[in-house]
Amino acid sequence: MLLLNLGTPDATDYWSVRRYLKEFLSDPRVIETNKFLWWPILNLVILSVRPQKSGHAYEQIWDKERDESPLRTITRDQSESLAKRLSGDDVVVDWAMRYGNPSTASVLEKLQKQGCQKILLVPLYPQYSATTTATANDQAFKALRDMRWQPAVRTMPAYFETPEYVRALAESIRTGVEKLDFDPQLVITSYHGMPVEYLKRGDPYHCQCYKTTRLVREYLGWPEERLMVTFQSRFGPTEWLQPYTDRTLEALPKRGIKRVAILAPAFSADCIETLEEINIGGRETFLEAGGEQFGYIDCLNASEPGMEMIEALVRRELSGWV
């Protein structure tokens, strides 16, 4: 079994971040612009200036003792936890990144050498998008294409509406709110954004995000106005899915909402988009706009509820194999 996550640079210096960003932003699943138009913009403009900015952001959250990003630490923890849970079923569990290291190809090769002839690919994205789930699977299929003796392969589908995920996410919100030293007037579910054009081309991500939040709200028994959907991390001049998280946080205090809690349900593990963009940048935006209290609720990560959820999902997908 192979857990697949987005990726991370190996370090926070210019060249490490540049290598990571080049691989990420060269992916036609992520940037659907004509490659002949995009290449000079990426290589002559973006990769000249963005690595410094992103490197500084990574430095804010980097684990100095392990010398790695939280995403790498958490994904490894998830893999090790799942391996223990499945230890009695003769299942090998490993993890890889779509961009950066450990690469998908290198881990698939390792699994094959260990004798794994049936592999379940587990993209750790609750909501499906061509920019996440599809490209993670693409990279695995690309590696498999070069194997003389290919293993049998299954891919785990998006799990945005499964009872296990809804329950785990809802209970994490309930617990997260209870741990705060204030009562939030509003809880925001901030999902990673995407260009509106991708939605128009048929990507189901937008609808799945709203369905996740609706199912969680119904599970909690909260009124509609208690839980809000926003979209973060937009990039470039084109229109992205709205409402935007940063502009929402800036506007809420003017509407009298000065106590908020926020979480990022599209991420299975805390990373730069959650820890730096939301918990640091979002907090500053809200407080500077007149907000008074801001709480961030962690991703499910390798928590007991989160791992129970992943175990239940993968056991379902492994049916007939183990």
CA distance 119 to 144: 11
Amino acid identity, residue 86? L
What sign has the CA pseudo-torsion 225, 226, 231, 233? positive
Q: Is 212 in a helix, a strand, or coil?
A: helix
To the question of whether residue 56 is assigned a binding role by annotation, the answer is no
CA distance 118 to 153: 6
Q: What is the dihedral of CA 116, 118, 122, 128, to 10 degrees?
A: 150
To the question of whether residue 308 is assigned a binding role by annotation, the answer is no
CA distance 265 to 273: 12
Give residues with Cβ within 8 angstroms of 84, minimum separation 6.
none
DSSP states of 215-242: HHHHHHT--GGGEEEEEE---SSS-BSS
Alpha carbon 56 to its chain centroid, in Å, reads 20
Q: Specify whether the CB–CB gap between 134 and 125 falls below 8 A.
A: no
Which residues fall in the annotated binding site for Fe(2+)? Answer: 192, 273
- Binding site feature residues: 192, 273
